[in-house]
């Protein structure tokens, strides 16, 4: 199915060679990442086209939909190409109203992995990111209600059982990254883009420890409102100071 060279070249993720440009499945479901897409056939076609263009790293989650993104991936690509790396995440869920809720306890992490295994119809997920909710940049603040060591212990157990290949961590600060390192971390998935580079100290640590850095919202945001807000935060001060054409600010 792969007909093109890996876009952006290749990198290593949990011991696998992946294209540096992957595909994030969060926007496949309906509005608000809830329910089916407006056009199921188009969503499936997009997935197949991404793989045809050389993408072999797809990021998804059971709670995208919920279950919608995973089922679309299954419908589009199963049986999966041998070089396709599927990456999911756990640590959140959706309630009956579709609101995002925490699912951070060890048994909830395990349930999340099992749900992903079922909907993707695989025996092992290549990488599972532990998405920490409420993580703060200040290492002195205890934002987590669940002990990180107990979460990591559950992830290590799932890896030992062969249900996941690599352990990733997401939305973490430097302190949490250092705490997680002994677990054998495959990747860090944090927000990072041209407009928000606050995560660069953590990026440097990942480089130092040879841990893959997998940024989300690389273009500013997956949501139009957030993207506009990000652009405004970047360009408004320069415009106020100079009254320069925004296009020129961007070029400069």
Point out the residues that are catalytic: 64
Beta strands in 180-225 (DSSP E): 185-189, 212-213
b (16+ CB within 10 A) / e for 186-205: bbbbbbbbebbeebeebbeb
Block residue for tokens 């070089």: 83
Length of the chain: 252
**CB atoms near residue 138 (< 10 Å):** 9
Give the C-alpha separation, 164 to 14, whole Å: 10
Angle at the Cα of 60 from the Cα atoms of 150 and 212, rounded to 5 degrees: 65
Determine which helix (DSSP H) or strand (DSSP E) holds 71, and give its type and residue range. Answer: helix 68-77
* DSSP helix/strand/coil, 32: helix
């Amino acid at each position: 199915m792969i007909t093109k060279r890996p876009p952006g070249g290749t990198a290593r993720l949990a011991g696998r060679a992946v294209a540096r440009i992957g595909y994030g499945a969060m926007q496949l479901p309906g509005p608000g990442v809830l329910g089916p897409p407006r056009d199921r056939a188009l969503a499936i076609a997009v997935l197949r086209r991404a793989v045809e263009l050389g993408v072999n790293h797809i990021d998804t989650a059971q709670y995208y939909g919920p279950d919608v993104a995973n089922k679309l991936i299954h419908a589009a690509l199963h049986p999966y190409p041998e070089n396709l790396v599927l990456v999911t995440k756990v640590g959140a869920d959706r309630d009956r109203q579709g609101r995002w809720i925490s699912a951070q306890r060890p048994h909830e992490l395990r349930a999340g992995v099992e749900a992903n295994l079922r909907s993707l119809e695989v025996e092992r997920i290549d990488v599972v990111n532990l998405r920490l909710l409420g993580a703060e940049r200040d290492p002195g603040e205890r934002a987590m209600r669940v002990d990180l060591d107990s979460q990591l212990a559950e992830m290590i157990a799932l890896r030992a059982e062969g249900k996941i290949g690599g352990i990733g961590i997401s939305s973490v600060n430097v302190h949490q990254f250092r705490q997680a390192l002994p677990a054998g971390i495959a990747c860090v998935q944090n927000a990072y883009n041209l407009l928000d580079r606050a995560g660069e100290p953590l990026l440097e640590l990942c480089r130092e420890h040879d841990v893959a850095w997998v940024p989300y919202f690389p273009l500013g945001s997956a949501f139009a409102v957030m993207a506009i807000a990000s652009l405004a935060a970047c360009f408004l001060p320069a415009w106020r100071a100079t009254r320069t054409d925004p296009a020129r600010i961007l070029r400069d």
